[in-house]
Amino acid sequence: MKVDPKKCVGCGNCVPVCTMGAIHVNGVAEVNEDECVECGTCRRFLRIEGLNPTFVRLVRAVLAAFRLQYRAPLDVCPTGALYQPDLTWPRIVRKSFSDPTTVHAETGIGGRGTEEIKTNDVTGRLGPGEVGIVVELGRPGLGVRFKELQRFSMALAEIGAVFEKNNPVTHLMTDPNTGQLKEDVLEEKVYSAIIEMKTTVERVPEFLSVINRVGKSSPTVFGIAISAKCGPNGEIPYIEAVAEAGYELSLNGKTNLGLGRRANP
């Protein structure tokens, strides 16, 4: 994202909206391009009033002379100073991972992950005895560079993680057997990116142990999620395995009700 300095009147409304805290005002707003993840939230959130910048500056100067101040409503950019420049590789991965209104070219899916258990009743992605594990790096609110994500993916590949082929992170891997990512994306920062894999219930403690070990030195934060197909009476198969690994299950989560079916079985 960029700010047109000719249009910006320095109202500062874009500063708190930025998900990465990458905007500051120095007379006019400036975007720290290295920290910006191209999520586009600032531009979507702020309504454009379309006022003439010279007029706004003049009014503010007159008001200031009388020790008065005019503050634009919080969700307004008075002059429409924010704009999205065309992005090229590798910076464009920032947008495809961070902006929920974009679709990944590789997977055709919006967002950062896949359908995972949301459609498991139809796709059968996770069968009996299988468990899905997800590590979402950078969320909430801090972001992650792919070089950090690679530390996790390579460590997990070492213990034989099978990465979800439709996940956009997997598409950035030069070799899913090693978890290594394309060299030119390593310094790119995104709001969050998800490593998605499946294993067996028995191996859950081993996977969580590796994630724990790598995560101890992480500069950012990450969330872990676990999913599975339930037993015939709705039993959750991974409760003991998670406890054995020393983790606590959340109170809330997603429940797939099993009401879906294939259109052409």
Partner 1 sequence: MTNTLYRQGTRENLKGDYVLFVHPAKGYNSEGCEPKLQQFLKICLKYNPVNIGSEADLKKPGVPRTFEEKVESVMNTGAAAAVFDNLDSLKKALKEVKEADLGISTIITGLIDEVDQVCREAGITRHSVEHHLGFHGNTRRLAPQRVLEINSMCGHGCVSFKLVSKMIEQVKLGLITPKKAAQLLAKPCTCGVFNPARAEILLEEAREKGEN
Residue list 58-117, contact with partner 1 (CB under 8 A): 74-75, 100-101, 108-113, 115-117
Nearer to partner 1 by Cβ, of 50 and 219: the residue is 219
Residues in region 235-264 near partner 1 by CB under 8 A: 236, 242, 247-263
Nearer to partner 1 by Cβ, of 61 and 259: the residue is 259
Q: What separation in angstroms does the CA of 166 have from each of 83, 185, 237?
A: 31, 19, 25
Q: What separation in angstroms does the CA of 22 have from each of 2, 3, 189, 218?
A: 11, 12, 12, 21
- Give the nearest distance from C-beta 248 to partner 1 in angstroms: 7
- Residue 50 touches partner 1, criterion: CB under 8 A: no
- Residue 44 touches partner 1, criterion: CB under 8 A: yes
Nearer to partner 1 by Cβ, of 65 and 259: the residue is 259
Helix (H, G, I), strand (E, B) or coil at 136: strand
Pairing relation of β-strands 189-190 and 144-145? antiparallel
Q: 189 forms bridges with which residues in the sheet?
A: 145
- Give the nearest distance from C-beta 129 to partner 1 in angstroms: 13
The only residue of 32, 119, 177, 209 in contact with partner 1, by rule CB under 8 A? 119
Residues in region 144-183 near partner 1 by CB under 8 A: none
- Judged on CB neighbours under 10 Å (0-12, 13-18, 19+), 86 is exposed
